[in-house]
Amino acid sequence: MGKQGRYKPQPTAPEKERVILVGVSTEKDRLMGSAWTLEESLAELARLVETDGAQVVGRLTQNVPTPFAKTFIGSGKVDELLGLVERLEAQVVVFDDELTPSQQANLSKCLGKSVKVIDRTALILDIFAVHATAQAGRLQVQLAQLQYMYPRLRGMWSHFAKEQTRGGIGSRFGQGESQLEVDRRLVRKRIAKVKQDLETLNRRRAVQAKARLASGVWRVALAGYTNAGKSTLLNALTGAEVYAKDELFATLDPTTRSCELSEGRKITLTDTVGFIQKLPTTLIEAFKSTLLEVQNADLILLVADAHDKQVAAQIEAVSKVLQQINADQIPYIVVFNKIDLLIDDELADLQARYPDAVYISAQERRGLDTLSYRISQAATQGEALITVLIPYDKTALVHMVRQQAQIIREDYQQQGFMATIRISQKLLELLEPFMLENPS
Sequence ranges of the binding site: 224-231, 249-253, 271-274, 337-340, 361-363
| Number of CB atoms found within 10 A of residue 122's CB | 21
Strands 218-224 and 116-119: unpaired
What one-character-per-residue DSSP string does 102-136 give? HHHHHHHHHH-TTSEEEEHHHHHHHHHHHH--SHH
Beta bridge partners of 382: none
Calculated CA dihedral for residues 47, 51, 57, 60, nearest 10 degrees = -50
H helices, E strands: number in the chain? 17, 13
In angstroms, the CA 26 to CA 66 distance is 5
Strands 55-64 and 18-26: parallel
Q: Say how many Å lie between the first and final Cα of the chain, rounded.
A: 101
Say which DSSP state 262 is in: T
Strands 218-224 and 266-271: parallel
Q: Contacts for 317-320 with beta carbons within 8 Å, 24 or more apart?
A: 317/225, 317/275, 317/276, 317/277, 317/279, 318/223, 318/224, 318/225, 318/275
What one-character-per-residue DSSP string does 143-206 give? HHHHHHHGGGHHHHTHHHHHHHHH-STTGGGTHHHHHHHHHHHHHHHHHHHHHHHHHHHHHHHH
**Neighbouring C-alpha atoms within 13 Å toward the C-beta of 363:** 13
> Which residues are annotated as part of the binding site for Mg(2+)?
231, 251
Beta bridge partners of 255: 271
> Which residues are annotated as part of the binding site for GTP?
224-231, 249-253, 271-274, 337-340, 361-363
Q: In what order do the strands lie in the sheet with 384-390?
A: 384-390, 417-423, 406-412
Q: Describe the chain by its helix, strand, coil percentages, rounded to 5.
A: 50, 20, 30
Cβ–Cβ < 8 Å for 107, 79: no
